[in-house]
Amino acid sequence: MNPYHPSISAISWYIKYVGLPITVGVTIYSLLCHMNQRKLRAALRNKVVVITGASSGIGEALAHTFYDQGSKVVLVARRGKELNRVKDDLMSKKLSVPCQEPVVLELDLANVDQMAAFVKKVHNVCGQIDILINNGGISHRASILNTDMKVFKQIMEVNYFGTVALTKAALPNMIERKSGHIAFVSSVQGLIAIPDRAAYAASKHALQAFGDSLRAEMHQHNIVVSVISPGYIKTAISINALTGSGNNHGVMDASTAAGFSAEYAAEQFLDAIVNKKKEFILSQFMPRVAIFLRQAIPSLYFYLMTKRANKTEW
């Protein structure tokens, strides 16, 4: 074949003057982004990071992720034994950065009257709170008709009122220092609601609204507010979810079992926080479609949710 054939020359010209510059440009851009991300992560060193729900799942994975960056991690949950297990796991790691000993503090988010005393305890031990990650919460698996009011109240107390009370208790010191970051681990169900999740979705809807209001009010005080909405993450959330009577669901949902790993989610959440993202959604394709439909074609979304509620294939 003639090497000077017009089509060969055109391809060669395209590769040399278009393809190669684009490739080099993308490579340089990716490298710069990676370097910037490392710089942002390095800024987490010695920051006091309080993580609720740190005894398992996403909270435990977040503890590892922030500890790996050299943060002083405060592990918070009801189960002291599990928190100490997480602490031991952290301290057994061989890391290249110096790490301060994690702090274990027990707290039941349902005890809203204890939040001021809890925050004071954190300040006494750590001096301040740089980042508060409101991750603790419980889920729900039952229809509205088959859910006792005590379950609605319990889920709202933990997921919403407990989180609000803890956040309010942490704010004065942050405002005084003109520095701080508050992150809420919500859910895609804070953006859409599906059948048999009413109590959980309602609590997360409330958290989304609270986060948006807080973000606007705290801007003048230089306090960052992030609302993180994950889809399916492979944790024990469905196993520990409450049924309509208040018992544990005790079953790993297929969608949860097929979800992102908690470790992957934690890495994504950390980057969302260091990049000071106001809102971050980490989700599979179908929940993203549902979010789009709810906003753009609500009638279709309502139809699909009706089919789901009636256990009809869709």
- C-alpha 40/C-alpha 274 separation (Å) is 6
Burial 45-67, CB ≥16 within 10 A → b, else e? eebbbbbbbbbbbbbbbbbbbbb
Considering the candidates 67, 160, 200, 301, report the single residue annotated as catalytic.
Answer: 200
- C-alpha 21/C-alpha 23 separation (Å) is 5
* E strand or H helix at 300: helix 298-309
Backbone angles phi, psi at 287, to 5 degrees: -60, -35
173 CB neighbour count, 10 Å cutoff? 17
38 CB neighbour count, 10 Å cutoff? 9
Longest dimension (CA), the chain: 84
- C-alpha 189/C-alpha 179 separation (Å) is 30
Let me know if 200 is a catalytic residue: yes
- C-alpha 57/C-alpha 73 separation (Å) is 16
Quick one: CA dihedral 162, 215, 62, 168, positive or negative?
negative
- C-alpha 306/C-alpha 75 separation (Å) is 41
- C-alpha 215/C-alpha 202 separation (Å) is 20
- C-alpha 310/C-alpha 51 separation (Å) is 38
Rounded to the nearest 10°, the torsion over CA 239, 241, 244, 249 is 0
**Residues classed as catalytic:** 200
